Amino acid sequence: MSRDIIVIGGGIAGLSAAARLSADAKVTVLEMESVTGYHASGRSAALIEENYGAPLVQALNRASMAYFHEGDYLTQRGLMILAQADDKEAFRADADQMGVHEISPSEAVGKVPILDPAKVGFAGYHAEAFDIDTDRLMQDFIRVLRKNGGEVITEAIVTGIRRDSHGWHVSAGADYTARTLVNAAGAWADLIAGIAGVTPLGIVPHRRSMARLAAPGGHDTSRWPMFFGTGESWYAKPDAGALLVSPAEEVATHPHDAFADDMTLAEGLDRYQSMVSEPVTRPVATWAGLRSFAPDRTLVLGRDTHEPEFVWCAGQGGYGFQTSPAASVLLADLVAGRPPALKADAVAALRPDRLQT
């Protein structure tokens, strides 16, 4: 089956890129699982706050906001940072980085009534943090792709990739051929590069564990903000009447169907417990996702230096949803040879050649 572009990976990075590319080309997405968004995209905290992430992530966040607002993908959530009385310096550093304004401990308890007033020494709040309707966002990108004649093929496990004068030939149950190959394989990005004979970039997946707790004390959590410990040592986020709590760990690992580490999860729940008055109950469910980073912890978007028809769309590092509108436009512009809207220095800092010699 011959197409213009093959995208390997059916998470938010691959689907958004495919949708944008499909305006100019016939695109096929190959996803190894039975459904799209199974791995990192299906296990996301699904929040955007413009100041969250490294400077280049923030630039992509800002460039994505209009798309989110115009598509009505956002619901206001708010974000709060908490610290004990002896953690003032760490709190100040986090508050400066995240752009939150300081509120009193009693105001913090008013926003999240399970907080222990005796433990909250400092609190900072920012209203402009939003939940993202991640499922609708992915489905809308799929609809755009299909409207433009593209397709998503699931259960397509890539077993071979080779290149000849006709383009890339990908074996994934069936055989697929395309001029251009986009590597949006998330935790598997370096593995896919290796199969294709392209030098890997050092993209490493990192585990992050999560627990779903029943609403603490029977409270209605729907209006609570997402709240963090200093240094992102843990976070909690309301979700469908329950509360998600994560130790926010980053443990380097290998590409796989991740699962929560019980000891790490217990340590994170203990850090969360130290700030709240309601006892931690047995989790309703636990899971983990893989956040994949390039060596400089910045997304990798653009053509490979040595194989220009091999395009990187990787290293999202947990910021895939919040950056997807802008990152996918940039990728499509780079592939089509159009001048990107993003500033030239930002584009250069996202290109794969920064990691290649």
From 292, 311, 326, the end of a domain falls on 292
Claim to verify: residue 154 and residue 260 sit in the same structural domain? no
Residue 123 has what pLDDT?
A: 98
From 260, 292, 324, the end of a domain falls on 292
Claim to verify: residue 21 and residue 138 sit in the same structural domain? yes
Q: What tokens were used for 13?
A: 């990075």
Claim to verify: residue 146 and residue 196 sit in the same structural domain? yes
Claim to verify: residue 232 and residue 272 sit in the same structural domain? yes
Residue 99 has what pLDDT?
A: 87
Question: Which residues make beta-bridge pairs with 131?
Answer: 47, 75
Q: Which is it for strands 2-8 and 79-83: parallel, antiparallel or unpaired?
A: unpaired
In a domain, 34, yes or no: yes
CA 291 – CA 20 distance, rounded (Å): 23
In a domain, 66, yes or no: no
Claim to verify: residue 275 and residue 326 sit in the same structural domain? no
**What is the total count of domains within the chain?**
2
Residue 1 has what pLDDT?
A: 63
Claim to verify: residue 286 and residue 315 sit in the same structural domain? no
Q: Give residue 12's domain range.
A: 2-45+134-203+295-355
In a domain, 286, yes or no: yes
Claim to verify: residue 343 and residue 230 sit in the same structural domain? no
Claim to verify: residue 119 and residue 216 sit in the same structural domain? yes
* 325: phi then psi, degrees, rounded to nearest 5: -60, -45
In a domain, 6, yes or no: yes
* Positions in the chain whose pLDDT score sits under 70: 1-2
Q: Which is it for strands 79-83 and 226-229: parallel, antiparallel or unpaired?
A: parallel
Residue linked to tokens 């992915």: 138
CA 27 – CA 145 distance, rounded (Å): 8
Going along the chain, which residue ranges are E strands?
Answer: 2-8, 27-30, 47-49, 74-76, 79-83, 101-103, 122-126, 129-132, 151-153, 160-164, 167-172, 174-183, 204-214, 226-229, 235-239, 242-246, 251-252, 285-293, 300-303, 310-314
CA distances from 11 to 16, 182, 294 (A): 8, 13, 18
Helices (H), 172-290: 189-195, 262-273
Three-state DSSP state, 250: coil
Q: Are the CB atoms for 16 and 68 separated by under 8 Å?
A: no
Indicate the burial class of 307 (C-beta count within 10 angstroms; 0-12, 13-18, 19 or more).
middle
Claim to verify: residue 155 and residue 114 sit in the same structural domain? no
From 272, 292, 312, the end of a domain falls on 292
Claim to verify: residue 155 and residue 281 sit in the same structural domain? no
Indicate the burial class of 322 (C-beta count within 10 angstroms; 0-12, 13-18, 19 or more).
buried
CA 208 – CA 249 distance, rounded (Å): 5
In a domain, 67, yes or no: no
Q: What CATH number did the domain enclosing 299 receive?
A: 3.50.50.60
Claim to verify: residue 287 and residue 303 sit in the same structural domain? no
